[in-house]
Structure 1
Amino acid sequence: MAYPPATHHGAPNRVNSCATAAGNRSAFVDFANTDQPDRSAEIPRIAVPTLVLRSAGIDGQHFARDIPGAQERVHADGGHLLPEEDPDWVLRRDLRRRVRK
């Protein structure tokens, strides 16, 4: 399997370990089989500083658009698991500074 250039080389093994850990698969299946209410209307009521991290290929731009005052960072090559795929990008210096405030 070929991974995007920004993909951290250890990510596939860590993701697989998490997904196959005892209880995680059944917990995910249980969650997926429950009735999850659509909370989209609540997004504009988020009233805390918010930094939205997403990949360019992931449809999530509405979060930054709909959360008042949100900032957005878009990764050019990542997927759904940015912290695993490119931890250096996620934890770059300006993000660490924002988290400490």
Structure 2
Amino acid sequence: MLRLGLLFLTLLAVAGCDGRSDYVGTWRAADADSLDMRYTFFADGTARIIQRGGLAPRTFEAQYEILGDTLLTLEDEVQAGQFAIRLEGDTLRLTNPASGQQTTWVRL
């Protein structure tokens, strides 16, 4: 299952009911040195996270919700995480409110 630590390090965001189309699609980390992750956000509020590397890719399924245009909640059957979000064109910035760590994602 999706580990909370993985969420904090590599989370990608998407949208809420009214603005979901702005976030729907596949995203990757902008930092070339980061883990090889792909997040695909679907219009129905589901997400698929693929972590590449190792012998075989790992796939996680999750649900997401955007509150307003500033807070992302991503959860699977084991845990949930919340992140501040900011979308600028095809660049998405996620910030972990607890640690202040920011991750930047780009749309594929």
Q: TM-score range by the shorter chain?
A: under 0.3
**TM-score normalised by length of structure 1:** 0.24
Work out which structure has the larger RCO, using CA pairs closer than 8 Å and 6 or more positions apart in sequence: 1
**TM-score, structure 2 as length reference:** 0.23
Q: Highest Rg: 1 or 2?
A: 1
